[in-house]
Structure 1
């Protein structure tokens, strides 16, 4: 409530806010952390925002900054699950442990066609997990870009794949007595 509203109602005009020092140490007894807001350190202020009683805080655990990513040949600093941010993000998307993620991504050939060239992609059953993340239980293997794209276009439907294979085996390259090439000359 503003000063004018206090005066208009006939109340004694009082300060609008309790002013806490913005420097020094936290006002919580026994806390020596620097002040962040309202006379409290950051961690005690978060307790106050949640509406919790202010309590003594457990000591912070120092993060180990010099661990390297567990992914072979990666020299980045580990972020979580012993993986760097890049590898952790991919493992998180498929809900995989670091060991399983490394084992899958270190395969050298496509599980469908056997192609050993190019980047391989982790494949999961989209009927189990239709969203952007996987539960980790429906991982089917790794596929090359072509097989992964083809599987996506047929919507993981084995019947549709069979029909396409039959079509390729029985199709006639000439339609109506003329080849496709001669139609466009």
Structure 2
């Protein structure tokens, strides 16, 4: 008995020779997907695997009540299928936010249903004020024309604050905001900055002047050889607070001189033992003596064997 196509070759399967059967089989397997613009091969219902799975997911949803997730395995979505494998009870999926859930805030959702600003408030434990309180505070600021800076704790005109797009002023005035940015760049905290300034007696670390000179804040001096290749300093190389003249025109010029020409005792003394280094040493010494004294008292109170 020959092939049904009439070429006289012996039958291999389904009344066809091996060559005709392979052609028929491949023509059925490698048919293009009926979706427009798709070059995939048909798998079921005239669709490729990708479009067939999409059809199934659109037709059926997760069997857990209240879940609108797409069905994937065992009539469950990915989330509930993982819970089934772990052997835990099914939980409801979290609400999907697109905008901030705070009243009258249309900013994009960041986390926990809030935008980035309101999420920081929520994470820090601050009670998010209502819109009426914010409007009332904004109106009072417009009437008074002044606000207390959160950094220097001084009441200043609103012109000295940067404002949000809605006209509400920032919590810090411009000098304090600039100082906070500089502190981040130098890798030190505001508390460390205040400790150094108090240690220096609110004076320049070199000349002893009580005014910073240029600008409104003291210049932060650090060892440039420590963090020369980084955009931000590590904080450990901070040496002290200087006025504008000593930092720009005195120390910057003096450090570039050869060692043989550095004969100015005032600057040599500052570079050899800067204020920040002395402050750290005294703080370490006080901590050590405190711990030693506590251990000695405990040894005296301990009964002898």
Give the TM-score normalised by the residue count of structure 1: 0.49
Q: Tell me which protein shows more helix as a share of its residues.
A: 2
* RCO higher in structure (CA 8 A, sep ≥6): 1
Give the TM-score normalised by the residue count of structure 2: 0.33
